[in-house]
Amino acid sequence: GPCRVSMSMAEIRSGFNAIKANIQARDPIRNLSILSYPHSLHKVKSSERCCITHQLFTFYVDKVFKHCRTEDSYINRKISSIANSFLSVRRNLELCHEQNKCVCGQESLGKLKQILVNYEGLNVTSAAMKSLGELDILLDWVEKES
């Protein structure tokens, strides 16, 4: 959409790459994806990209990161630095949203609702860890579209 937000994707991506194998290994559920079930993010119309990006960053900041504690302090540090990056990106997206350039259509509302249904279908720790393990799905989509 019209809302071009410069994001420190490389920072988030490298933080995630450092913990990806560890976090994904903690997720034994193969037949459900929070972000991609039943339809991939890549199927979403690009006109609704700004809204979904904003809502997804809000989802991660408000719902996911707080439930992602592990017994490993290195992993926890990486998670909190990713969370901080998300906070600053979400702040940028907030500006867009306030300037009404980030309109949410039916499709994005439906997609976001499905994501919440997927999330709430699991216990909160499993759902949060699975969502964290799917960050590459989110980053791949955001980077491809930008």
Partner 1 sequence: GELYCSLPNPRNVRFESVNMKNVLRWSAPEGTGDGVLYKVKYSVYGVGKWIRKLECRNINRTWCDLSSETSDYEEQYYASVKAFLNGRCSDWIETARFNPLTDTKIDPPVVSVSSTEKSISIILTAPEKWKRSPEGESVSLLQVYPGLQYNVSVLNKKTKKRWLFSISNNTLLVPWLEPGTAYCVSAQIHVTTPLLHSGFSKEYCISTLKDKVA
Residues of this chain that bind partner 1 (CB under 8 A): 9-10, 13-14, 17, 21, 24-25, 29-33, 36-37, 40, 42, 133, 136-137, 139-140, 143-144, 146
Other C-beta atoms lying within 10 Å of the C-beta of residue 144 = 9
Give Dmax (Cα) for the chain: 42
Alpha-carbon distance of 39 to 111, in angstroms, equals: 8
* Minimum CB distance to partner 1, residue 98 (Å): 27
3-class DSSP state for residue 20?
Answer: helix
Q: Which is nearer to partner 1, 37 or 101 (CB)?
A: 37
Q: Which is nearer to partner 1, 47 or 146 (CB)?
A: 146
Q: Which is nearer to partner 1, 104 or 137 (CB)?
A: 137
Other C-beta atoms lying within 10 Å of the C-beta of residue 26 = 15
